[in-house]
Amino acid sequence: MIQPVEFRSIADATDESYRNEILTSVNDHQVHISVMKAPYFWHIHPDSDETFIAIDGTLIIDFDDGMAELSPGQMLTVPAGVRHRTRPATRRTVNLTIERRSTTTVRSDIQEPPAPPEAP
């Protein structure tokens, strides 16, 4: 028998600083629940758009040219190939994420150049 998924209980049971769990598949996409207490790394999905639906807390999505802030009940889609990272603006965020099954995640953290040596 088909059963509902109680994603709030999954979120409430999470003590980790980051948890991402697949809840279900819809055709060729997956719906994940993400619980965050710390930023996720900068990355790109070259082969899939990624949609975020804020459920609890305020989610920040950083881009190279700015940021978007999602409150509960808001949604945003990041097009394939756009570099981004997510981070909580509150103590914790809970969001649903929808992306193509088996999507590629390419880590692309900003590397700070080393500081020049100090003169003697």
pLDDT at 35: 96
Pairing of strands 84-88, 59-63: antiparallel
Domain boundaries in the chain?
A: 32-107
CA distance 51 to 99: 7
- Mean of pLDDT over the chain: 91
Which amino acid belongs to residue 9? S
CATH number of 32-107: 2.60.120.10
How far is 108 from 64, CA to CA, in rounded Å?
11
The answer to whether the CB of 59 falls within 8 A of the CB of 89 is yes
Per-residue burial over 10-46, b = 16 or more CB atoms within 10 Å of its CB, e = otherwise: ebeebeeeebeeeeeeeeeebbbbbbbbeebebbbbe
- Mean pLDDT over 12-23 rounds to 90
Measured CA to CA, the distance from residue 59 to residue 70 in angstroms comes to 5
| β-sheet bridge partners, residue 52 | 76, 97
- Per-residue confidence (pLDDT) for residue 1, from 0 to 100: 87
Q: What is the pLDDT of residues 22-51, one digit of tens each?
A: 999 999 999 999 999 999 999 999 999 999
DSSP 79: P
Would you place residue 2 in the very low, low, confident or very high pLDDT band (cuts 50, 70, 90)? confident
pTM: 0.86
**Number of neighbouring beta carbons within 10 Å of residue 93:** 24
